[in-house]
Chains A and B, each alone.
Chain A
Amino acid sequence: MAKLNDLTLAEARDGLAAGDFSAVELAEDCIAAMEAARDLNLFITETPEIARERAAQSDARRAAGGAHGAMDGIPIAVKDLFCTEGVLTTAASHILDGFHPPYESTVSQNLIDAGAVMLGKTNLDEFAMGSANMTSYYGPVKNPWVGAAGEDLVPGGSSGGSVAAVAANVCPGSTGTDTGGSIRQPASLCGVVGLKPTYGRCSRWGIVAFASSLDQAGPFARTVRDSAIMLKAMAGHDPKDSTSAPVEVPDFEAAITGDVKGLRVGIPKEYTLDGMPAEIQALWDRGAEWLKQQGAEIVPVSLPHTKYALPAYYIVAPAEASSNLARYDGVRYGLRVDGDSLDEMYENTRGAGFGAEVRRRVMIGTYVLSAGYYDAYYVKAQQVRTKILNEFKQTFADVDVLLTPTAPNAAFPIGAKMDDPVAMYLNDIFTVPANMAGLPGISVPAGLDADGLPLGLQIVAKPFDEETMFRAADALERAAEFTAKPKYLGGQGG
């Protein structure tokens, strides 16, 4: 018999509601799968005792007739970028050694209130800066999928542990954050569904900040329906985040109607790259055909400034990071390395506490914000960003959603692309534009490459129109019939 950790979120919800199994039984299977998958290095901190306690509380609520809804009793993994009260929170950085937040992030609190059961805190790129989960102080995460010659692959990043936990059937859902693609790109590389909602849909309060004008939380799950269920529990207005949007959270699952007749789907020609693998172009064409066969209209569109989104991002994001990460000074929490003066203590602490990629980005950010360079770099990038946003606005006057590849490549070997930062940055070329414009985007597993590795397609929608995004994503998912599974499943493999 299949283990309960193999169930989708919707199946687990229905099984709990029908009394087929208890939340404690479900949690035990997920805990066993988490422990069996330790070789993948998915978790920085496992919290089985919290999982057992919350699962028992969920069963008690249900027995008393007071279950909290779809997420009640559902085991989830939480990216270790969300502050969790009393539970070590590291952002995968040495500089946050020993940090036990005295508060809970709004998104993780929303999930607690919805009855979700936290299994642990997942590994990630340090401060979410990376596209391969290679910059974590706690070591790389292995993708549950392996290469054609059996080699270990990266899961993508930065939400590497969260995505791989869902791909490996450790749990049906997990939280991620997406600043430039950190949910959608790993979802594509691991064959799961991952989405970034509209900027402002989820509160950023209590999430370790990277680039505040770009950061958004979102879910990973194995189906579009599951991700819709989980996003509803995560989202909502929060007065503690001044950029949180005061809008109602729709019933995203109800938006999945199966009907895309008349939906206008834009295909932006600038997303065709020189040197992109032919199978990614072929998959993209197939995706358009799938939507067309279901009655959608395919509309060629042009977004000429697309190629400038990534370089503009690599000014804006490091600038915001250099400002946000100024708080790590060895005084209030985390690592301190002593020095003879206050300045020397700061320098020693930050020199020892930040890894190579974080150091690079903080220094780039410091440079582009420094006197004499601010206008040439930072203001210029923000002007380019305005042009990108306006281009999206004009395009969305004519189409309902855009269809693009999620990433320009499948998962690559652990250690590849490490000697050239810009080569690594190019992994986010198709995901960054949605962050720059604050738009919702979702990656849906759509096929396999010649080596048997998953590839995703991305749907980008208008601001606060996740419902149309889910409707289109569901149509893609049904047509793709993606049933392939990775080698490491439920902690078993090899």
Chain B
Amino acid sequence: MALDRDDVRKIAFLARIKVPDAELAPLADELNGIIGWVEQLSEVDTDGVEPMTSVTEMTLKSRDDAVSDAGYPDRVVRNAPDRAGDFYAVPKVVE
């Protein structure tokens, strides 16, 4: 299936990336080129094959549900583009 301008606009919104209208069509061409190329995977018989979840046969370890590192809010928020005290500031969400 080939993507059109509207598909690309929808994907861009899902990805929260602003794409100027003039770039939608060329971007659709680029994405279609890549998707058309990866579709060669349909040649591979994968019936009954488990999808990979990890390259190594390891069981992830559990750890205690406890605070291990905390107590320095100033360092945590220091890189914020906008802050109010020890909080991140964002545009108004609730009227």
Contacts and interface: CB of A to CB of B under 8 A. Distances in A.
A380 B17 contact: no
Most buried by B among A99, A199, A336: A336
B35 to A, nearest CB: 7
A157 to B, nearest CB: 18
B81 A243 contact: no
B14 to A, nearest CB: 5
Contacts of B18: 347-348, 350-352
Interface in B33-78: 33-35, 37-44, 46, 49-56, 58, 60-61, 63, 75-78
B52 A382 contact: yes
Contacts of B19: 351, 359
Contacts of B3: 367
B84 interface: no
Contact of B17 (A98, A239, A342, A363): A363
B80 to A, nearest CB: 6
Nearest to A435: B55
Given A315-B38, A363-B15, A333 B56 contact: no
B34 A340 contact: no
A343 B16 contact: yes
B46 A380 contact: yes
Nearest to A307: B40
Given A331-B80, A344-B91, A383-B49, 16 more contacts: A199-B55, A243-B54, A314-B37, A315-B38, A332-B88, A333-B79, A333-B80, A345-B91, A347-B16, A350-B17, A363-B8, A363-B27, A384-B44, A387-B49, A389-B52, A421-B30
Contact of B79 (A99, A387, A422, A436): A99
Contacts of A362: 15, 17
The 6 lowest CB-CB distance pairs between A and B, nearest first, are A351-B18, A438-B55, A382-B51, A333-B79, A336-B81, A383-B46
A242 B81 contact: no
A360 B18 CA distance: 12
Interface in A363-415: 363-364, 366-367, 370, 377, 379-387, 389
Interface in A178-212: 199-200
Interface residues of A, number: 67
8 contacts: A245-B56, A245-B58, A305-B44, A311-B41, A331-B80, A332-B80, A364-B31, A389-B55
Interface string B1-38: 00100001001111111110000000100110111011
A102 B15 CA distance: 28
Q: Please classify the interface of chain A as helix (H, G, I), strand (E, B), loop, or mixed, using the class held by over half of its residues.
A: helix
Contacts of B56: 199-200, 243, 245, 438, 463
Contacts of A200: 56, 58
Contacts of B90: 331, 342, 345
B55 A213 contact: yes
Contacts of B77: 332
A370 B8 CA distance: 13
A377 B38 contact: yes
Nearest to B82: A336
Interface in A311-332: 311-312, 314-315, 322, 329-332
A100 interface: yes
Interface string A428-449: 0000000011100000000000
